[in-house]
Amino acid sequence: LGPDYMASHNEIRSFAGDIARESGYVLTDEQEESRVALLSRDEEAARKRRITGL
């Protein structure tokens, strides 16, 4: 799909926040350039995980 059909990073961040609130997961990290948000099951797991590289 072309860029016009892809969600913006703000939309992805918002959706990830909605999922986090409903599931009890934690928004752990994000990569704006890749339009990615990482959720972890809890704060302990979040400390161990980060998105790296580009």
* 21 part of a folded domain: yes
* 16 part of a folded domain: yes
Provide the β-strand partners of residue 39: 27
* pLDDT for the residue numbered 42: 86
**pLDDT < 70: residue spans in the chain:** 53-54
Asked whether the whole model's pTM tops 0.95, one would answer no
* 9 part of a folded domain: yes
* pLDDT for the residue numbered 21: 96
* 54 part of a folded domain: no
* 52 part of a folded domain: no
* 10 part of a folded domain: yes
Give Cβ neighbours of residue 2 (< 8 Å, ≥ 6 apart): none
- Could you tell me the residue range of the domain that residue 22 belongs to? 3-47
The count of domains in the chain is 1
Length of the chain counted residue by residue:
54
Give Cβ neighbours of residue 27 (< 8 Å, ≥ 6 apart): 13, 16, 17, 20, 37, 38, 39
Contact yes or no for 30/13 (Cβ under 8 A): yes
